[in-house]
Structures are given as C-alpha cells and as structure tokens.
Copies of this chain bind each other. A is one copy, B any other.
Amino acid sequence: MEHPPDAPVVLVVEDEPLIQILVEEALSDGGFKSETVGSGEEAIALLEGDSARYRALLTDINVQGELTGWDVARRARELQSEIPVVYMTGAAAEQWNSQGVPNSLLLNKPFAPAQIVTAVSQLLNRTPLE
C-alpha cells in the first residue's frame, strides 16, 4: 500500500524487538508511519518536544526505564487531550480498569497484526462529537 507523504504517525513504545517488527510492519501495511522507542522516558521526551506530530499512541505496559505505559498515556493525554491510546500487554490486563485512560483500547497478547490496525483506525475514526 502506498504511503502518502503525510500519512498519520503513530508513536510506538515497545522494547521487545520481535514485537517492534510485527507492530511496525502491521502499521506500515495499513498505511501508517510509525516511530518506535523502547522506554517511557524516550516517549515522553518526543511527546513533549512535538505532541502534535503524533496522531496515536501504541504502548506496551512494561518497558525499559522507570515509567510504565500507563504513565506515558497519561502524559500524552495531558499534552494532547484526545490522542487515541492503545495498550498492548501480556500480563497486566486486569490493571486496565484502574490504570488506563478513558476511551482507550487494550490488546491482550498474543494478538494478530490486524488487531493493531483496527484498534488505531477505530479510535481515529471515532465520530468527533466536538
């Protein structure tokens, strides 16, 4: 699928190389660009530098560094109040009810690549009430 020069950019926070590749390929096949970092600290630095650059956040929960995916998503929403958030997790699903942000989605590992693209698209396509 061709990428128009201005394809939407998804910020990916993931430190496992095999899942990084799977996620990046799935997003690319769907026509998205992606930028991947391995820690919450790096993700927040990018968001604070230019939060308008990113149209969605896709984040693992347990990543390198001190911060979790829960922390990254809260900071992303402080900077861009409606940014779509998709969490990926193998173990922490039951924490989503207390730690997730509203109107986010949770992908339980293992997931199929199509679930990533559908999740990001669903949230971007959500009818804008505003």
Contacts and interface: CB of A to CB of B under 8 A. Distances in A.
A6 interface: yes
A99 B128 CA distance: 13
Contact of A125 (B75, B78, B101, B115): B115
A114 to B, nearest CB: 3
Given A22-B4, A31-B26, A106-B128, A97 B81 contact: yes
A25 interface: yes
Interface residues of A, number: 54
A101 to B, nearest CB: 6
Contacts of A22: 2, 4
A107 B119 contact: no
